[in-house]
A and B are shown apart, each in its own frame.
Chain A
């Protein structure tokens, strides 16, 4: 009983404080307030900061340029944040608070798929549109949500571009894509299996043959049985995805066992620090990313991707490299601004329709939503580790450098 009393007293105080704080924000009539419950503390605190720094930079840029004009009047953007402590349950609670207590009608997403999954039903219930940029799980877009829009590419697209790159390269060599053999090793968790589904779907479309299709157990980091099979079957492409452990184990054991293929693609290259820990062995591996600063994308607000990169680093000197979470966060606010300009209204239903009709070029890539709310216009970008550096090689239209093919690891 005692615990409950203390908790409710604390909650009461927090609610009172929130109301006091929210009061002036809601009352100001020359601002548009976006809301977001994002990870400021907890395990996603760094990524949460990356994302919100991206949000804040676009807000600052738009306000510097006089804000958003709606029916002849200029409005400044403001974001109201809460800390979801990196826990999805808290995200859902805080979204309820943002909507029903603070009266926020325009939402920005939290960080990561888990919290976004918790947030989506809440905004759906209140019919409040949310633009998210940090939740990539395919399952977010199979629920029929009407008010959820995502700027980033979804998980099933993570490695699929490598299939198309391989097909392109095969055709250049005068081979048919359907002659290509594929080996896949994906961890047995929903995220990695999403990625696998995307690869399988595209491989089947092109008639490629899958010769190894192993699901890696979560708790053991030995891939030697799978790799022996790969060695025996000599596939043209090897796909691996199993978080940091998968990337580290595959890279190390492929070198140890002398296993190679003309093309090797895997996720989590950076978090596994492949270029640092496995310098020679990681050479030539393809790694997907949502965004890279060397891409030839541009928009009016920031200019090119590289100009965004420079500005972001200047504004937040604590970053050595600009994380892609920041870039997509910045793009999400641009999407909102664009929707306001086109809708010329504050009505959330009209804004939802404007969001659904989004078709714009940004420094982060093209944004156009499919019926499920996911961005169907921006491909995943593939980078290749070349000389210990990540170099964008696909899609070839936006790539800075050619792909090294077939892959040759160095020792």
Chain B
């Protein structure tokens, strides 16, 4: 235990003595966070509009990853899989909505949790049957960018992922604000019954929301296959991160979701550096707990002030 404290102290000193490593950590953290942001704002969308807490989030991500893997296997650049994966996953999302989600939207929380949990298991086992339990990757063929005499290195694919995350988020905000469908989605999220009364086809809105989420997850999966590895049962890590991000950021605000995801990415890197990789997840979950408690206290003060 004392040894662990010495480690932490020494690691902290490195960051102070050689600030260049901070750059590496922050860059890595931002790009890691960008990937989580993709899974996160898909979840925020579905959660906010349909009130379904989608436990199959990470498994949708894995499905997208396998599209990239298939592209790579057949000699194509996995980067090309981005759009096909998103399109395929959009179609899958539509199907999943028709078969499962539609039937549980009106029911209580537990039914929808169970239904999406069941979906997650079915997806995992199906992927396992088709692709086997081996760990897979896809190679983007892109190189690295070196900075500070090679002390800091970052892969181009990570930068692309970061750019894509910001672009997608901006596109989403525009879509929600400007398009008719976006307005319908927002109206449904605010009050589904009122929206129906005013002629919004809420069933279509729900279907579109879920499919859109699946498509974003698919795109995230393609990036993950090129940055890390995929495996039929690794989806859970992305589900957990997405839930943490959305819980911490709240549902309504896309910008907050992105900022939270990026922040968590950076914190995770620092925690891995200073405390060790075994504490990364604990730090994130601990932070979430702290945020929730702090919010509860703030809410209580607010109530007192109102009284």
B11 neighbours in A (Cβ, 8 Å): 229
Complexed CA–CA distance, A274 and B135 (Å)? 12
Complexed CA–CA distance, A117 and B200 (Å)? 62
Complexed CA–CA distance, A256 and B139 (Å)? 12
Complexed CA–CA distance, A213 and B7 (Å)? 9
A380 neighbours in B (Cβ, 8 Å): none
Q: Determine whether the beta carbon of B269 is less than 8 Å from that of A225.
A: yes
Number of A-B contacts (CB under 8 A): 94
Complexed CA–CA distance, A223 and B155 (Å)? 14
Q: Nearest chain B CB to A196's CB is how many angstroms away?
A: 12
Interface centre among B10, B137, B277 (most CB of A within 10 A): B277
Complexed CA–CA distance, A213 and B11 (Å)? 12
Q: A245-B229, A252-B137 known; A217 and B277 CB under 8 Å?
A: yes
Q: Determine whether the beta carbon of B229 is less than 8 Å from that of A229.
A: no
Query: What does the 1/0 interface line of B138-153 toward A look like (CB < 8 Å)?
Result: 0100001010001101
Q: Is B59 an interface residue (CB 8 A)?
A: no
Q: A219-B234, A256-B144, A256-B155 known; A244 and B273 CB under 8 Å?
A: no
Complexed CA–CA distance, A245 and B237 (Å)? 14
Identify which of residues 108-139 in chain B touch chain A, using a CB-to-CB cut-off of 8 Å: 133-135, 137, 139
Complexed CA–CA distance, A245 and B233 (Å)? 12
Q: Is A257 an interface residue (CB 8 A)?
A: yes
Q: Determine whether the beta carbon of A258 is less than 8 Å from that of B28.
A: no
Identify which of residues 172-201 in chain A touch chain B, using a CB-to-CB cut-off of 8 Å: 185, 188
Query: What does the 1/0 interface line of B150-168 toward A look like (CB < 8 Å)?
Result: 1101010000000000000
Q: Determine whether the beta carbon of A224 is less than 8 Å from that of B32.
A: yes
Q: A222-B228, A233-B14, A277-B137 known; A228 and B21 CB under 8 Å?
A: yes
Q: Nearest chain A CB to B263's CB is how many angstroms away?
A: 15
Q: Is A80 an interface residue (CB 8 A)?
A: no
Q: Nearest chain A CB to B290's CB is how many angstroms away?
A: 20
B14 neighbours in A (Cβ, 8 Å): 229, 232-233
A4 neighbours in B (Cβ, 8 Å): none
Chain B: interface residue total (CB-CB under 8 A): 39
Complexed CA–CA distance, A43 and B133 (Å)? 10
Query: What does the 1/0 interface line of B268-284 toward A look like (CB < 8 Å)?
Result: 11111100111011000
B277 neighbours in A (Cβ, 8 Å): 185, 214-217, 223, 225-226
Q: Nearest chain B CB to A233's CB is how many angstroms away?
A: 7
The residue in chain B whose Cβ has the minimal distance to the Cβ of A258 is: B153
Complexed CA–CA distance, A229 and B231 (Å)? 27
Q: Nearest chain A CB to B25's CB is how many angstroms away?
A: 6
Q: Nearest chain A CB to B266's CB is how many angstroms away?
A: 10
The residue in chain A whose Cβ has the minimal distance to the Cβ of B269 is: A225
The residue in chain B whose Cβ has the minimal distance to the Cβ of A252 is: B137
Q: Determine whether the beta carbon of A225 is less than 8 Å from that of B273.
A: yes
Q: A213-B276, A258-B150 known; A220 and B269 CB under 8 Å?
A: no
Q: Determine whether the beta carbon of A244 is less than 8 Å from that of B135.
A: yes
Q: Determine whether the beta carbon of B25 is less than 8 Å from that of A225.
A: yes
Q: Nearest chain A CB to B151's CB is how many angstroms away?
A: 8
Identify which of residues 218-250 in chain A touch chain B, using a CB-to-CB cut-off of 8 Å: 219-226, 228-229, 231-233, 243-245, 248-249
Complexed CA–CA distance, A211 and B7 (Å)? 8
Identify which of residues 198-213 in chain B touch chain A, using a CB-to-CB cut-off of 8 Å: none
A226 neighbours in B (Cβ, 8 Å): 272-273, 276-277
The residue in chain A whose Cβ has the minimal distance to the Cβ of B22 is: A228
Q: Nearest chain A CB to B130's CB is how many angstroms away?
A: 16
Interface centre among A188, A228, A258 (most CB of B within 10 A): A228
Q: Determine whether the beta carbon of B228 is less than 8 Å from that of A249.
A: yes
List A residues at the B interface (Cβ < 8 Å): 43, 185, 188, 211, 213-217, 219-226, 228-229, 231-233, 243-245, 248-249, 252, 256-258, 271-272, 277
25 of the cross-chain contacts (CB-CB < 8 Å) are: A211-B10, A213-B7, A214-B276, A216-B278, A220-B280, A221-B234, A222-B228, A224-B272, A225-B28, A225-B271, A228-B21, A228-B25, A228-B28, A228-B269, A231-B21, A231-B151, A232-B21, A233-B14, A244-B134, A248-B135, A248-B137, A249-B228, A249-B229, A257-B153, A258-B146
Q: A216-B278, A245-B135, A257-B144 are in contact. List 15 more A-B contacts (CB 8 A).
A: A43-B133, A214-B277, A217-B277, A220-B281, A224-B32, A225-B269, A225-B270, A225-B273, A228-B25, A229-B11, A248-B229, A249-B228, A249-B229, A257-B153, A272-B135
